[in-house]
Amino acid sequence: MFQCLQAGIHHEWDEETHQRKQQREEMLSQETPQQLQELEQETQKPGTEEPDFYWEAWIFAAMVIWWFCIVAGVLIVHYFSRKSHDPDRNGESENNSSGDEEQNLAYRSQVVNDLVDDLLCAIREHLPKSFYAVLQTAMKVGSVFEGWDPHEDDAVYQMLVPLKPPCGYTFHLELGSTEDIPERNFSVRVQLECTCTTEQPSKERLCLLHNPEKNLSRNEHLSLLNTLCTRSYLDIHKTALWFQKQVRSAWVLVPQSHHYNMVVLPSSCSCKLRLTSSSMRSLLVEVLFGVQQGDSDIFLSSQSSETAFNPSTMWLESYAVAEFKFFRNMALRVPYNSIHLKCLQIFARIVVGTCYSTYTMKTIVMHLLTTIPLSGWCRRHFLLRLMDIMGCLCCCLENARLNHFFFGNENVPEEIILPPALRTAKPFNLFQHIEEDPDTQAEALGQYHFLLERLQMLLFYGH
């Protein structure tokens, strides 16, 4: 089989690449059996128990390891060296490698963070303090801030702005249908509360509950219930349109207005901004809105669901803040130059156009980060980690089961604050649709081999 697989590879190598191939194959012929032997010894230690999916992943890995040994070494060398030599990256030299890209990403992230903070400050200063939702400090979410977004210059920088009720109001979260777990929907019911006992009440802040004639009649157009609600429930569409209007008014008040041209893009669930600098470089920013569940890292988000249409008063349970916190904390614990984000970025690119979502690959990587020793995520284990991810996906497809990371998972780090009901919940299967439909499972397994070919093409050719 070794010779057959080798004969089936017909890439044209230039002289330099051919030399690297020979050197790498000699090294792999010595290292790979040793790594497998070490793994076997480790897993045979008394009292060592690995998750079922990990064992099955390595069964798959054993079936394809010789194929990987032939091509993976040179592909990895070629992939990383290509990132440093690519002549099509706007004339960048060898010195402008991934380090410069990371600095550029960090700079843009800071620009977006400062911009949204300044906008929120300007909006707060010009809003009545008693009649609208209170805008809290924006929180970074999404793949760009987590460090693995595959879109580079076309990336969308997402910020989530938590909403708090103003004085005289309270938010009550009501769980909707549980059929769509983990995409659970909630309604945010807005109620008036008594503020008669507030110390030193002013004439401008009389109790809205017990003095409606003096307050709501005078400020009826400013009432939270009349501006951002539908039938006493916080409305996503009304909130988004209201915030977009505030951004347009506040833009001239922020320092960034002297350096960027800002356009508010159409959106019914968020505030999307396109910022264009004098050099015609663009930044895409999306401001989402959220309501926090207690003191946890789980929010109700205005981001629309991809699986179903929901009325504008239904807010989707979001794990984006918890996920950002997870990757931020992992960055402090993994080895220097860890490849976990690079692995996730690669798979986010090759699943495009397939039945696999980026969230599927993200969930697999999060599971592996909490089950594989963090020392195993250094660059020299790049091949093994790619095999782990592919192997894990394979056995999840065969078993028609991939557990959501935050539902009843004992491996969720303690610093991630979850609602008690979520931490003790039964594991939820993200592959439930595969489990219920054999045809869907067969299609997903068929596309798995296509994914394997894409991985090889991306590593060697970069696309």
- Res 363 pLDDT > 50: yes
Q: What is the mean pLDDT of residues 27-48?
A: 46
Residue 85 has a pLDDT of 47
What is the C-alpha separation between 71 and 354, in angstroms, rounded?
24
- Give pLDDT, residue 304: 77
φ/ψ (deg, to 5) at 274:
-110, 120
With cut-offs at 50, 70 and 90, classify the pLDDT of residue 132. Answer: confident
Q: Which amino acid is at 224?
A: L
User: Considering the chain, what is the average pLDDT of its residues?
Assistant: 79
Residue 22 has pLDDT above 70, yes or no: no
Kindly tell me if the per-residue pLDDT of 206 is higher than 90: no
Q: What ranges do the domains of the chain cover?
A: 15-96+333-461, 98-318
**Picking from 66-75, 201-210, 383-392, 430-439, which range would have the lowest pLDDT averaged per residue?**
66-75
Alpha carbon distance 279, 259 (integer Å): 10
**151: confidence class by pLDDT, cuts 50, 70, 90:** confident
> Cα(139)–Cα(175) distance, rounded to whole angstroms?
24
Do the Cβ atoms of 225 and 232 come closer than 8 Å?
yes
CATH architecture group of domain 98-318: 2-Layer Sandwich (3.30)
Does pLDDT of 328 surpass 90? Answer: yes
pTM of the model: 0.78
Q: For residues 307, 311, 314 and 319, what is the CA-based torsion angle, rounded to 10 degrees?
A: 30
User: Is the pLDDT confidence value at 14 over 50?
Assistant: no
- What confidence score (pLDDT) does residue 98 get? 54
Long-range contacts of 179-183 (CB under 8 A, 24+ apart): 180/305, 180/307, 180/308, 181/407, 181/428, 182/317, 182/319, 182/404, 182/406, 182/407, 182/428, 182/430, 183/305, 183/307, 183/308, 183/316, 183/317
The tokens describing 207, both together, are 């109790």
pLDDT of res. 106? 84
Residue type, 35: Q
